[in-house]
Structure 1
Amino acid sequence: MCDDDVLRFGPLGESCIHLCVDMQGIFAEETDWHMPWIARALPNVRRIVAAHPARTVFTRFIPADRPGQGRGTWAAYYERWSSMTRQALDPKLIDLVPELAGFAPPATIVDKTVYSPWMETDLDERLQARGIDAIVVTGGETDVCVLGTVLGAVDRGYRVVVVTDALCSSSDAAHDALLTLYRSRYGQQVETVTTESVLQSWSP
């Protein structure tokens, strides 16, 4: 573990959960939203899930039912991505990837229709009821739904740990830019470490 791969605010404990963002077939398979990195990040995501299955919450991004559906710019978005609406997709692609699906339960699932899991869901209420104050974030995309997840958690006062080698994106440049942003602008609220550091610092 190198000097910059250390949890600055101490080890993780029972008040921490793992929030795994959108590791679904729609991103893993050869669709218009395919994330080439997902296969590379998946083994590390799975290691964290396997170590803490009951403390894992999976989010799933649920696309609109049909083109043009949604509020405001989302309607135009689904005109552009009509191939990714539910009426055009195999329903099985909405599910978690097979390597992770077997962990739920005991892991739980939160469905969302926007990038952030904090809107239109009861995620914050669920975590508060469990006494959670820290969140380990993995999944994809680094620069889209992970970004919405991280900033929403920061706004709600959670300690946020972003696992750098358990993220995936379709853009190397945007991924790198977001990690730089977290380190340079959100260092008091966001920690960036590797899977190994998380596993060593978070007791089962």
Structure 2
Amino acid sequence: MSFDEDQLRNGHLGATCMHLCVDMQRMFAEETDWHTPWMERVLPSIVRLVEAKPERTLFTRFIPARHPGEGRGTWARYYERWASMTLERMRPEMVELVPELARFAPPARIFDKRIYSPWIGTDLDARLRAGGIDTLVVTGGETDVCVLTTVLGAVDCGYRVVVVTDALCSSSDVAHDALLTLYRSRYGQQVETVTTATVLENWIR
């Protein structure tokens, strides 16, 4: 498949599709130690997708540890390094969605997680299956961290996965580009990479 091909290889999106928007939170959008500079650039694309199907949108939120040094194994060291981003040191509102997206919830839903992956130690898969969901449209940040674990977990769970290339952001251009190449070249059977416009044109119900 050509890398610039922008089409859904497995057909239209329908009533069994959910938009899974990853960690579009104020602590990444604003001037913090975890600031993702070009989140603002992809936000309009994400807003377009959410506006089209707010009731079919699930926002994940990454909730940091409360104290520096808290967490299992290497997470304890992680939060020593990022002590400024723990809940006791951050303003409480920084874990919230950016205002442009928060206004859609409800009917959009919010799902909190404590690690990069929304699948480990949670009931996310069971919730989605109970709602008849078998396809996930994935947006958000960061491409090479929480989006990566979201996509690979969804693949492992057997979902059809559609990654929206112009609705992802990262702190690293190199890692972002590498991950898009990886999805296209190594996960071509299980991951489709298309633009926002293609998703909107093909989500028929």
Asked if these proteins are the same fold (TM beyond 0.5), I'd say yes
Gaps of at least 5 residues in structure 1 are none
Question: Shift of residue 140 of structure 1?
Answer: 0.2
Which residue of structure 1 aligns with residue 37 of structure 2?
36
Residue 121 of structure 1 aligns with an amino acid whose one-letter code is T
* 1:49 alignment partner in structure 2: 50
Contact residue 110 and residue 121 of structure 1 kept, 8 A: no
Paired residue secondary structure (1:126): helix
Q: Is the 8 A contact 1:35 1:170 kept in 2?
A: yes
In structure 2, what is the Cα distance between the partners aligned to 1:107 and 1:187?
Answer: 29
Give the match's secondary structure for 1:163.
strand
Give me the whole-angstrom Cα distance separating, in 2, the residues matched to 1:122 and 1:45: 25
TM alignment of 1:75-154, pairs within 5 A? 75-154=76-155
State the SS of the aligned residue for 1:105: coil
- State the alpha-carbon separation in 1 of the partners of residues 47 and 119 from structure 2: 23
Matched, 1:157 2:147: no
2:184, 2:4 → 1: CA distance? 14
Could you list the per-position Cα deviations for residues 70-102 of structure 1 after superposition, in whole angstroms to 9, with x for gaps in the alignment?
A: 000000000000000000100000000000001
Distance 2:10 2:56 in 1: 20
Q: Which residue of 2 aligns with 1:26?
A: 27
Distance (whole Å) between structure 2 residues aligned to residue 53 and residue 203 of structure 1: 14
The yes-or-no answer on 1:7 pairing with 2:8 is: yes
Q: Secondary structure at the match of 1:143?
A: coil
**Deviation of residue 120 (structure 1)?**
2.4
Alpha-carbon distance in 2 for matches of 1:165, 1:11: 19
TM-score by length of 2: 0.97
Q: Secondary structure at the match of 2:111?
A: strand
Unaligned runs of 5+ in 2: none
Q: Distance in 2 between matches of 1:64 and 1:99?
A: 25
The CA distance in 2 between the partners of 1:30 and 1:121, in whole Å, is: 30
Q: Note the C-alpha offset of 1:3.
A: 6.8
Equivalent residue for 2:173? 172
Q: Distance in 1 between matches of 2:187 and 2:4?
A: 18
Cα drift, residue 203 of structure 1 = 2.2
Evaluate the alpha carbon distance shift between residue 80 and residue 119 of structure 1 in structure 2; reply closer, same or farther with a 3 A threshold: same
Paired residues, what number?
Answer: 203
TM-score, normalised with respect to structure 1: 0.98
Percent same amino acid at aligned positions? Answer: 72
CA distance in 1, matches of 2:129, 2:186: 26
Q: Which residue of 1 aligns with 2:66?
A: 65
Deviating runs (4+, > 2 A) in structure 1?
none
Contact 1:60 1:94 in 2 (8 A): yes
